[in-house]
Amino acid sequence: MSAMNELTKGFFKENPIFKQALGMCPFLAVTSSVENAIGMGAAATFVLVASNFLVSLFRKAIPAKVRIPAYIVIIATFVTLVDLLMNAYVPALHRNLGIFIPLIVVNCIILGRAEGYANKNTVFHSILDGIGMGIGFTLAMVIMATFREILGNGSWLNINLLGEAYQNQPLLIAILAPGAFILMGFILGFFNIMEKRRKGGDK
């Protein structure tokens, strides 16, 4: 039961994007298409699980004073691994994500989980936490990318949904930079309303 909770809390209850507002930079930047969102989500999840595993494994060996640099080096190692693997096997996706792959290093979700969870919990729970948070992050990106790709390109995961007539004249702003900010504003506003409804229902 507890293990299940560690896994699923990242999906909605403690969703890194919608509830904790962490990892905003890659979230806004790569959600212009669902494909990019899934690619970034997979890369970040891998780094998250691997770094959580290693940090948790060495949690008693790393002195408290140098723990942050140690975590950063661990995270950077896995990011380099992902960078090289993606460059070798999915070069097109690697090109699309570009600078945001090395920037996974400074994604606050990953350092946040290392510092806030993995350094005081068992290896098994830390891995589950990493998977859960990774899925939560990916889920949030896919939701955002779904809005942006359908509005801005008339397609979902490169499958044409709205027909050629729409694709010739789409709501282009949705996949440009402003669309990301504006949609995020409305999504967070929507979450605020839901939260208020839920609290109101409790009374």
Partner 1 sequence: MTPAALLAAFIAAPEGGEASFSVARMMAIIISAIFVNNFVLMRFLGICPFLGVSKQLDSAVGMGAAVIFVMVLASLGSYLVYHNVLVPHELVYLRTISFIIIIASLVQLVEMILQKFSPALYDALGIYLPLITTNCAILGVAVLNIEEKFSLGYALINAVAAGIGFTLALVLMAGLRERMETANVPASLRGLPIAFLIAGAMSIAFLGFAGLGG
Minimum gap (Å) between residue 18 Cβ and partner 1:
10
Contact segment (CB under 8 A) with partner 1 among 33-41, 125-133, 163-171, 192-200 equals 192-200
Question: Among 21, 66, 92, 161, which residue interacts with partner 1 (rule: CB under 8 A)?
Answer: 21
Residue 197: is it exposed, middle or buried by C-beta count within 10 angstroms (0-12/13-18/19+)? exposed
Total residues contacting partner 1 by CB under 8 A comes to 40
Question: Among 42, 157, 162, 173, which residue interacts with partner 1 (rule: CB under 8 A)?
Answer: 173
d(CA 118, CA 49): 10
Return the number of the residue (53 or 100) whose C-beta is nearest partner 1. 100
Contact segment (CB under 8 A) with partner 1 among 1-9, 45-53, 140-148, 179-187 equals 179-187
Minimum gap (Å) between residue 90 Cβ and partner 1:
17
For residue 110, CA distances in Å to 79, 84, 116, 127, 183 come to: 11, 19, 10, 12, 24
d(CA 37, CA 100): 12
Minimum gap (Å) between residue 21 Cβ and partner 1:
6
With binding defined as CB under 8 A, does residue 175 bind partner 1?
no
Q: Which residues contact 184 (CB under 8 A, 6 or more apart)?
A: 27, 28, 144
DSSP H helices in 31-122:
34-57, 67-89, 91-97, 108-116
For residue 48, CA distances in Å to 40, 82, 101, 138 come to: 12, 11, 13, 12
DSSP at 160:
E
- Interface map 53-82 toward partner 1 (x if CB under 8 A): ----------------x--xx--xx-xx--
**Lookup: tokens for 181:** 């900010």
Return the number of the residue (28 or 127) whose C-beta is nearest partner 1. 28
Which residues contact partner 1 (rule: CB under 8 A)? 21, 24-26, 28-29, 69, 72-73, 76-77, 79-80, 83-84, 99, 102-103, 105-108, 111, 173, 176-182, 184-186, 188-190, 192-193, 196
